[in-house]
A and B are shown apart, each in its own frame.
Chain A
């Protein structure tokens, strides 16, 4: 029954109408990568989205296949670091963190200090690096805040660092000052609960 289910899933994936936006050669290569990823227990939706992004951006087929293959490999690396029970959003955020320069050990450590989901913590780490913060500094900051900070606190921390950088502060200094300010004021994790909010900006 399990084999039948797996074959059925593979057939559904092969017939996914979204992939018709790819040329036949690219589509067959992407489907093969998806099948392999599925066999490894990895989520395939991120692979589909990466292929569709390439198709919409009119990228050559070879580049699309290379991007999908690289993403599949990185999803596997993220799962190794985060554990087999990591969710698809966590794995995607883990890929972003790894590509930003975080080590697998940082991901594993984050897993031990913060209860799931880790999506936001991993994303903030990657986004800080994208803002110019060194990977080790970003990782240290997130690991410091992770045990107590809510997701909203992490987002506010990232925005504060980005604001300081935009105003001319060196990225490393902006990060450490904001971490220390959060520790002194106990600003992160001091409040609790979700509050309704209007549509927000990313």
Chain B
């Protein structure tokens, strides 16, 4: 228990309560030190560096012209699923992979074939190729009505505004 009568404690308290004296010259010394620091040198870019930057910016604008679409989100991940318990292989082919069956083989888990593809905004036609010979549309997606090759296809659309 704290006993204020204790001699040692009383002396400590007395020391702590003693006002601290600050050197009246302290403020002036601090200001002198600050003033002694050399000001940061402002770097003035030479005219040719500004010209080079403008050229790079111009090249970027030419190679990647700004459009309304430029602000759209990047590729979205889409999962494609086909239930085909009897299939030995299923490939996803469409406008997003040059209709190349080798580029999108699907993985199966007990007859449920699935794969995930990143798609940029746009409208894509696609179909499933089962066992390398049988074309199937996606039963869970809108059908492509304008199929001119006599086999079913589906459509997926990736929007760019809160899609």
Q: Using CB atoms and an 8 Å cutoff, list the residues of chain A in contact with chain B.
A: 18, 46, 49, 52-57, 59, 63-64, 66-67, 70, 85, 87-89, 92-93, 96, 99-100, 115-117, 119-120, 122-124, 126-127, 129-131, 150-155, 158, 162, 192-194, 198-202
Contact = CB atoms under 8 A, between A and B. Distances in A.
Contacts of A200: 76-79
B142 A116 contact: no
B125 A154 contact: no
A202 B154 contact: yes
Interface stretch (B7-15, B34-42, B46-54, B65-73): B65-73
A8 B22 CA distance: 80
Which has the most chain A C-beta neighbours within 10 Å: B68, B141, B142? B142
Contacts of B116: 199
> Secondary structure at chain A's binding surface: helix, strand, loop or mixed?
helix
Interface residues on B, range: 35 or more
Contacts, number: 145
A151 B162 contact: yes
A202 B69 contact: no
Nearest to A153: B162
Contact of A127 (B69, B129, B142, B150): B142
26 contacts: A18-B98, A49-B99, A54-B149, A56-B93, A56-B100, A56-B101, A56-B129, A67-B148, A67-B149, A85-B68, A87-B67, A93-B123, A117-B121, A117-B161, A120-B157, A120-B161, A124-B157, A126-B155, A127-B142, A130-B144, A151-B162, A152-B163, A153-B162, A162-B142, A201-B78, A201-B80
